[in-house]
Chains A and B, each alone.
Chain A
């Protein structure tokens, strides 16, 4: 790691070597040490509600079948036939009791177990030659979920997901636990952009500073009730363990009024009051902050905003969950889902979806301008001059390291972690500091599985 120790030291003091946004060697390390280790989002349980439902999702190049088996258990298996390595499932979603490999006809139940092996007796001599019993598709080394969000980790020794998410769960609940039923996801829209995956992750983690400029046009066309995008500086950012995000400052009012201000009907507010904790409600009702964008390290982001959806003054909130799936050092596949509380009124769901389409996703008017910037940044970071330039990501700090504004105290902000008022880059630095910690540590050896050896029965 000596050749990168300088890069990592610079990153940790908030001076970012520009080439990390387009560097094949850095990307090789990320593949091994970030994506080989972190918990990575793959699906939400609402995408596979019934027995046999499945979606196929990737972690970098590795394809996984995320399926609900006949007992209702969610499973994640590497999408490769144990025999000759053919992709077992070539659709991206559907419902199936079995997956049959198109090459030689080996078949697997939706819980991963090998059931069909043509000519088992003739070709292998039966169980004596190839032990079919107990064989299953290679499971993801770790699988866990929180509020229906399914994550996998390629690291067999990964810490439990609950510990990995830590205090960020407090903020995750605003997006995913507005009622006991939780969210339902639609999508994703998928598209590829010639941009490095870290840029979107950093932007959603804490960049309130770009809103007034990048997104001037959506304010000018009257999509928002607030006349000036500069209002963003009245919000705060927070960082809690594995992730961080941004907020908007709400006008005076009580809890109900503030939720209704962003467009939630009272019945949804009532459910949130039952499902969120006292401190989660105080952040809105007493502190006056409404969560907006956020990122969980490494590449899962969230949005919550409330535009007008018709030619009236009424605004309506939407939630989007998005993943920055790296393709290479200069290309990212964006997966962008629309999320809505499952118990929301049907009319709310439809209009919230409309709000999402207008603002984010492949056609979203916010997203259009973001991507243009990120593509440009990535291509500029490819050359030799970018290796000489350290980008200043120290906003919120004076030269001697003291903070431009002190963090909010527990009476001003009731959420866990550290919250700062106004524009800053505390969160982007926190995100890249975690990245540096991963890049620095080599991986322990990867276990191998021999096809045909006995493996554990699924639990």
Chain B
């Protein structure tokens, strides 16, 4: 996955993957995979306060806008624009809003299912950091009769070992649609 430039990511950890995919039997892979599955459960349950606790204080949470460009153009994300380009403060406001009684877009709540697959884990050259790559397919159903909506995306995560367990320090979400087919992104991926 090509890492796109982001406007607000200067504070993010610059650590990159080192070496080949860790074997599926490697403890570090098992750890990262379980972390992602547990996280997906929290996102399905919309347990967003617990989810926020899994993010480091210097989190950078980025979802670029994908654009259709000619082969060889050298870029496939919109320069200077993203869907999410978040730090802990902006994510905390989003979570706080869902916890009010007036976030109409989630009242009644959506039924969410984050399908997780294609997990690959990489070392970083720093024992306290791992990089995990994954695919996610979010199915979101609202109301009784509306058709469900899908977002398909690839992700690259930087996980960090902290005294409180492993936390997410950086996430890049590459949606597979240029035009999002969901009424809003009042969800997390």
Complex interface: chain A residues within 8 A of B86 (CB): 357
Is B1 positioned at the interface, with any CB of A under 8 Å from its CB?
no
Task: Assign chain A's interface to a size class.
Answer: 35 or more
Residues of A within 8 A of B181 (CB): 191-192
B contact residues around A409 at 8 Å (CB): none
- Flag if A362 contacts B69 (CB, 8 Å): no
Decide if A395 is an interface residue (CB 8 Å cutoff). Answer: no
A348 CB, min distance to chain B CBs, angstroms: 12
Is A221 an interface residue when CB atoms closer than 8 A count as contact?
A: yes
A313 at the interface (CB under 8 A from B): no
- Residue B180 lies at the interface, judged by CB distance under 8 Å to chain A: yes
Of residues 143 through 166 on chain B, the ones whose CB sits less than 8 Å from some CB of chain A are 146
CA A194 – CA B184 in complex, angstroms?
Answer: 11
Does residue A363 face the partner (Cβ distance < 8 Å to B)?
A: yes
B70–A362 touching, CB < 8 Å:
no
Contact with A along B158-177 (1 / 0, CB 8 A): 00000000000000000000
Instruction: Name which of B96, B181, B184, B185 has the most chain A CB atoms within 10 A of its CB.
Output: B184
B97 x A363 contact (CB < 8 A): no
Write the nearest CB–CB distance from B100 to chain A, whole angstroms. 4
A322 to chain B, nearest CB (A): 13
Contacts of A354 in B (CB 8 A): 8, 85, 90
Stretch from B48-56, B102-110, B122-130 at the A interface: B102-110
Closest to A189 in B: B65
Bound Cα distance A195, B182 (Å) = 12
Counting CB contacts under 8 A, is B2 at the interface? no
Tell me whether A217 and B100 are in contact (CB under 8 A): yes
**Pairwise interchain contact A191-B180, C-beta atoms closer than 8 A:** yes
Given contacts A354-B85, A357-B85, contact A371 B183 (CB under 8 A): yes
The answer to whether A91 and B69 touch (CB under 8 A), given A310-B89, A358-B93, is yes
Looking at the complex, which of B18-26, B38-46, B76-84 is the stretch in contact with chain A? B76-84
Interface string of A329-353 (1 = CB under 8 A from B): 0000100011000000000001001
Smallest CB-CB separation from A218: which chain B residue?
B97
Cross-chain contact A353 with B183 (CB below 8 angstroms)? no
Interface assignment of A368: CB less than 8 Å from any CB of chain B: yes
Give A372 to B105 CA distance when docked, in angstroms: 5
Q: B12 in the interface, Cβ–Cβ < 8 Å? A: no
Q: Bound complex: CA of A369 vs CA of B83, how far in Å?
A: 16
Asked if A221 and B183 make an inter-chain contact with CB atoms under 8 angstroms apart, the answer reads no
A90 within 8 A of B: yes
B85 → chain A, closest Cβ, in Å? Answer: 6
Q: Return chain A residues, CB-CB under 8 Å to B68.
A: 90-92
Contact B103–A217 (Cβ < 8 Å): yes
Contact A92 B67 (CB under 8 A): yes
Q: Is A159 an interface residue (CB 8 A)?
A: no
A-chain residues with CB within 8 Å of residue B184 when the two chains form the complex = 191, 193, 362-363, 367-368, 371-372
Given the interface pairs A220-B102, A221-B93, the reply to whether A372 lies near B183 with Cβ below 8 Å is yes
- How many angstroms between the C-alpha atoms of A217 and B96 in the bound complex? 9
Q: Are A357 and B178 in contact (CB under 8 A)?
A: no
Determine the chain B residues whose CB is within 8 A of the CB of A192 once the complex forms. 179-181, 183
B47 CB-CB contact with A under 8 Å? no
Closest-by-CB residue of B relative to A195 is: B183
B111 at interface (Cβ–Cβ under 8 A)?
A: no
Q: Does A319 make an interface contact (CB < 8 A)? A: no
Contacts from A to B (Cβ < 8 Å): 90-94, 96, 186-195, 214, 216-218, 220-223, 309-311, 333, 337-338, 350, 353-354, 357-358, 361-363, 365, 367-369, 371-373, 375, 379
